[in-house]
Structure 1
Amino acid sequence: MNDAADRPIIAFDSGIGGLTVLREARVLIPDRRFVYIADDAGFPYGDWDEEPLRARILGLFEGFIATYDPEIVIIPCNTASTLVLDDLRRAFPAVPFVGTVPAIKPAAERTSSGLITVLATPGTVKRAYTRDLIQSFATKCHVRLVGSQNLARMAEAHIRGDHLDDAAIAAEIAPCFVEMDGKRTDIVVLACTHYPFLANVFRRLAPWPVDWLDPAEAIARRALSLLKPNGAGSEPEHGDDIAVFTSGNPDFSTRRLMQGFGLATV
């Protein structure tokens, strides 16, 4: 097993959405190497049934843990976290896992109107874990769950530089906005790490201003809190950070995007 200073942090996502979390993690944790893993061969996770997806992710991680011996694993993917995080912790008890769940608690603490929307994938919306969060932290709020089949794909296309139709995006976010008893939705929880890539588009197309709640910094801070001090005495070059795609064959625009994030595709 490698020394802690040599062991990377894995960030795992269904696609490139987890780059929003990786960006924050690299700022807060500059003294670690990162391996970004995108399960592009399985993307999008919202189309999967639960048990096959659970088996797929567990199987993938057997290889990831053996290959990279990570110090910690961040899963910036709501669908994967709400489905398989507990299974991963049981399967690999020596490795700390930091998951991503819808930021319902901070939304409930921050809302003025009491009207909150959780914008997620269909898988996250239907998960009992999400309902439990609402029951635990937002019983005094009206919480609308909106599951989009299309926004994760749209976000991936957007970050690669493809043109998106404003009307199509506006249609996806329209159910997020609720008016009730003279009050309006004032917070939309971005419960898919792909969605922050579209945040500026959402702001432009929204029928009224809301707080688009991005959990990326909170996830990075949680990861930082679980790390032991690095005794290496120097920071690694982030040029050593790599991106791994389960397809083994990301397209040119994706490779260029990884390069822009300072990740070498292997």
Structure 2
Amino acid sequence: MSDSILIFDSGVGGLSILTEVRKALPGVHIRYLMDSEMFPYGIRADGLLAERIVSVCKAAVSSFSPSMLVLACNTASTLALSQLREALELPVVGVVPAIRVAGEHCRRTDNLCFGLLATPATVSRSYTQALIDDFASDCRIERLGCSELVDLAEQHIAGVDTRAALHGLIGNWLAQHPHMRHVVLGCTHFPLLRDELELLWPEIHWIDSGAAVARQSARVFRGIADEDNSLSCNWTGTQEPEAVKRFLSQLGPLKDAGRLLV
């Protein structure tokens, strides 16, 4: 087993989690894995996805022997977290929308209203409602399911200016709720658009799970932080993710990159 962290997502969304994990564990080698052959997950059946996520992650753990696996995807965490924890002999960290954090912010500001911006599947899933019931039952929550933002995040990583499209997708929703000052970014893709979101709507406090996942990762990491700040990139499918490799190279030296055969 190597002293490394494997971070998994269907596409580029997990880069938002990886950025926070890098801050929390700067001396650990991080390997980023995308199941780009099956992207986007939002159009796939849950049963197919659960089987696929377990298969890909088990193959990657077998190939790379990481010290820890981070499921940097709400869908993957919902469908496969418990299965992977049973199947793998290493810590597996998942991600959920930052409902609890948003509720705490709202209570401190005496404005018991916040938004939940996620994919349609995450907005409607029972686990999301369970989080609301447990941590924000006293709040009014305005929900918007928008799968198009996933594609915008992928484009943004590639250098495309997506501000006009972003305004067209969520501008009316925000305008309809002028008292909403906190919005949960309930998909790991969405924080990659934070710079444009803050530019367009600076009055909104955008909340995501990245820092919380990083703190949990630091708590359960079993390896040794030996000042190896390199990164690696792997993917399924045939298309090489040049934009992702460029993003990773800004965080540290890119050690290796290659396709994972599943």
Report the TM-score when normalising by structure 1. Answer: 0.87
Residue equivalent to 1:169: 166
| Percent identity of equivalent pairs | 34
| SS of alignment partner, residue 152 of structure 1 | helix
Residue equivalent to 1:106: 101
Would the alpha carbon gap of residues 159 and 135 (structure 1) be closer, same or farther in structure 2, given more than 3 Å must change? same
Residue 249 of structure 1 deviates from its aligned partner by 2.9
Distance 1:171 1:49 in 2: 28
Greater CA drift, 140-149 or 26-35: 26-35
Letter aligned with residue 189 of structure 1: V
1:101-136 per-residue CA deviation (whole Å, 9 max, x = no partner) reads: 000011001113111111111221121111100011
Residue equivalent to 2:180: 185
User: Equivalent of 2:208, from 207, 214, 229?
Assistant: 214
Would the alpha carbon gap of residues 254 and 225 (structure 1) be closer, same or farther in structure 2, given more than 3 Å must change? closer
Residue 252 of structure 1 deviates from its aligned partner by 3.8
Q: Flag structure 2 segments of 5+ consecutive residues without an equivalent.
A: none
Distance 1:254 1:118 in 2: 27
Give 1:2-151 correspondences, 5 Å limit: 2=1, 6-92=2-88, 94-111=89-106, 112=109, 113-151=111-149
Residue 171 of structure 1 deviates from its aligned partner by 2.7
1:183-214 per-residue CA deviation (whole Å, 9 max, x = no partner) reads: 711110011111112112112323x7111002
Letter aligned with residue 174 of structure 1: G
| SS of alignment partner, residue 95 of structure 1 | coil
Length, aligned pairs only: 253
* 8 Å contact from structure 1 (residues 82, 124) kept in 2: no
Distance 2:41 2:103 in 1: 27
Residue 46 of structure 1 deviates from its aligned partner by 1.3
RMSD of aligned residue pairs (Cα, Å) = 2.0
1:76-115 per-residue CA deviation (whole Å, 9 max, x = no partner) reads: 11121122212221222x2211111000011001113111
Residue 41 of structure 1 deviates from its aligned partner by 1.1
Letter aligned with residue 65 of structure 1: V
| SS of alignment partner, residue 83 of structure 1 | helix
Distance 2:227 2:46 in 1: 40
